[in-house]
Amino acid sequence: MAEAWWLKGEYLESCNCTFLCPCLLGPRSPAGAPMARPTEGTCDVPLVFSIDSGRFGDVTLDGTRACVAVHTPGPMGEGNWTAGLYVDAQGIVEQQRALEVILPGALAARSVS
């Protein structure tokens, strides 16, 4: 069974498109995945998280930070993502491991919903 978790804080996302990310406003697949073509041909986007409070099971995530850097060779909804996860080195090992579980799973859910 998956560990229960929640996060509260700030989130920043910025893509490499020339003007306003077409994924936000463009067409969607039947499953809801973004299908707009990136203006630069590929999508490069950092997803930055500053977590004010949160938990992963018994592990507190208060004050942690993380970044997911994503590259897709075309529309995000077509898949073929490459992603790197950067986790706050200031956090204790349990916090780092929790973010390593939460963020890729949340990202995978986002790419198909």
Longest dimension (CA), the chain: 43
Q: Report how far residue 20's alpha carbon sits from residue 57's, in angstroms, rounded to the nearest whole number.
A: 37
Residue ranges of the chain with per-residue pLDDT less than 50: 109-113
pLDDT given for residue 2 in this prediction: 74
Phi and psi, residue 64, nearest 5°: -90, 165
> Could you state, in order of their start, the residue ranges of all structural domains in the chain?
5-112
pLDDT given for residue 23 in this prediction: 85
60: enclosing H helix or E strand: strand 59-60
pLDDT given for residue 84 in this prediction: 92
pTM above 0.85, yes or no: no
